[in-house]
Amino acid sequence: MVLEFDNTFAELGDRFYSPRMPEVSSAPETLWVNEGLARELGVDPEWLHSEEGALFITGNEIPEGADPLAQVYAGHQFGSWVPQLGDGRALLIGEVHDHQGRRLDLQWKGSGRTPYSRRGDGRAPLGPILRELLVSEAMHSLGVPTTRVLATAATGDRVLRQTALPGAVLIRVASSHLRIGTMEYFASREDGDALKTLVEYTLSRHYPEREERHPLALLDEVGQAIAELVAVWQSLGFIHGVMNTDNMLLCGETIDYGPCAFMNEHDPATVFSSIDHRGRYAYGNQPAIAHWNLARLAQALIPAFDPGGDREEYLKGAQGVIDEFPDRYAEAFRDRLAARLGLSEVREGDEELTADLLAQMAESGVDHTLMFRALAERAGPAEGLLPHFEWPEAFGTWLNRWEERVAEDPREPAARQEAMAAVSPVFIPRNHRVEEALEGASEGSWDAFGELWDAVTDPFTYRQDRAHLATPPAPEQRVAATFCGT
Ligand code: AMP
Ligand code: MG
User: What does the DSSP assignment read for 29-85?
Assistant: EEEEE-HHHHHHTT--HHHHHSHHHHHHHHTSSPPTT---EEEP--EEETTEEES--
In whole angstroms, what is the distance from residue 80 CA to residue 83 CA?
10
Give the single-character DSSP code of 418.
H
Q: In the prediction, which pLDDT does 307 show?
A: 82
Q: Domain for residue 128, yes or no?
A: yes
83 lines ligand 1 (CB under 6 A): no
Please answer whether residues 155 and 110 qualify as being in contact, where contact means their C-beta atoms are separated by less than 8 angstroms.
yes
Q: In the prediction, which pLDDT does 486 show?
A: 60
Please answer whether residues 370 and 389 qualify as being in contact, where contact means their C-beta atoms are separated by less than 8 angstroms.
yes
Domain co-membership, 49 together with 141: yes
How close is the Cα of 188 to the center of ligand 2, in Å? 19
Q: Domain for residue 413, yes or no?
A: no
Q: Domain for residue 390, yes or no?
A: no
246 is catalytic: yes
Q: CA quadruple 262, 266, 268, 274: dihedral positive or negative? A: negative
484 lines ligand 1 (CB under 6 A): yes
How close is the Cα of 119 to the center of ligand 1, in Å? 10
Q: In the prediction, which pLDDT does 485 show?
A: 62
Ligand 1 atom at minimal distance to the Cα of residue 114: 21
Q: In the prediction, which pLDDT does 484 show?
A: 67
287 lines ligand 1 (CB under 6 A): no
How close is the Cα of 486 to the center of ligand 1, in Å? 6
Residue-range definition of the domain harbouring residue 35: 10-174
Domain co-membership, 188 together with 118: no
- Which of 136, 153, 174 is the last residue before a domain boundary? 174
Cβ burial of 139 (10 Å; 0-12, 13-18, 19+) is buried
Domain co-membership, 167 together with 24: yes
Please answer whether residues 336 and 350 qualify as being in contact, where contact means their C-beta atoms are separated by less than 8 angstroms.
no
161 lines ligand 1 (CB under 6 A): no
Q: How many residues does the chain have?
A: 486
Domain co-membership, 107 together with 246: no
1 lines ligand 1 (CB under 6 A): no
Domain co-membership, 225 together with 131: no
Ligand 1 atom at minimal distance to the Cα of residue 121: 20
In whole angstroms, what is the distance from residue 285 CA to residue 257 CA?
18
Domain co-membership, 122 together with 211: no
Phi, psi of 83 (to 5 degrees): -70, -20
Q: Domain for residue 314, yes or no?
A: yes
In whole angstroms, what is the distance from residue 130 CA to residue 152 CA?
8
Q: Domain for residue 262, yes or no?
A: yes
Residue nearest to ligand 1 atom 11, measured at CA? 88
How close is the Cα of 256 to the center of ligand 2, in Å? 5
Domain co-membership, 49 together with 194: no
CB-based neighbours (< 5 A) of ligand 2, an ion: 247, 256
Ligand 1 atom at minimal distance to the Cα of residue 90: 12
Residue nearest to ligand 1 atom 14, measured at CA? 88
How close is the Cα of 45 to the center of ligand 2, in Å? 28
Rg over alpha carbons for the chain, rounded to the nearest Å, is 23
Domain count, the chain: 2
Catalytic residue among 246, 256, 276, 367: 246
Please answer whether residues 193 and 200 qualify as being in contact, where contact means their C-beta atoms are separated by less than 8 angstroms.
no
Q: Domain for residue 310, yes or no?
A: yes
Q: Domain for residue 90, yes or no?
A: yes
Q: Domain for residue 449, yes or no?
A: no
Please answer whether residues 279 and 289 qualify as being in contact, where contact means their C-beta atoms are separated by less than 8 angstroms.
no
Phi, psi of 158 (to 5 degrees): -90, 145
23 lines ligand 1 (CB under 6 A): no
First to last CA, the chain: 31
- Which of 153, 174, 195 is the last residue before a domain boundary? 174
Per-residue pLDDT of the chain (486 residues; tens, 9 = 90+): 689 999 999 999 999 999 999 999 999 999 999 999 999 999 999 999 999 999 999 999 999 999 999 999 999 999 999 999 999 999 999 999 999 999 999 999 999 999 999 999 999 999 999 999 999 999 999 999 999 999 999 999 999 999 999 999 999 999 999 999 999 999 999 999 999 999 999 999 999 999 999 999 999 999 999 999 999 999 999 999 999 999 999 999 999 999 999 999 999 999 999 999 999 999 999 999 999 999 999 999 999 998 888 999 999 999 999 999 999 999 999 999 999 999 999 999 999 999 999 999 999 999 999 999 999 998 877 778 888 888 899 899 999 999 999 999 999 999 999 999 999 999 999 999 999 999 999 999 999 999 999 999 999 999 999 999 999 999 899 988 887 666
Please answer whether residues 132 and 149 qualify as being in contact, where contact means their C-beta atoms are separated by less than 8 angstroms.
yes
Domain co-membership, 161 together with 188: no
Domain co-membership, 164 together with 236: no
How close is the Cα of 291 to the center of ligand 2, in Å? 19
Domain co-membership, 187 together with 169: no
Please answer whether residues 434 and 259 qualify as being in contact, where contact means their C-beta atoms are separated by less than 8 angstroms.
no
276 lines ligand 1 (CB under 6 A): no
- Which of 318, 338, 358 is the last residue before a domain boundary? 338
Please answer whether residues 155 and 60 qualify as being in contact, where contact means their C-beta atoms are separated by less than 8 angstroms.
no
132 lines ligand 1 (CB under 6 A): no
Domain co-membership, 186 together with 73: no
DSSP β-ladder status, 238-239 and 164-174: unpaired
Domain co-membership, 157 together with 193: no
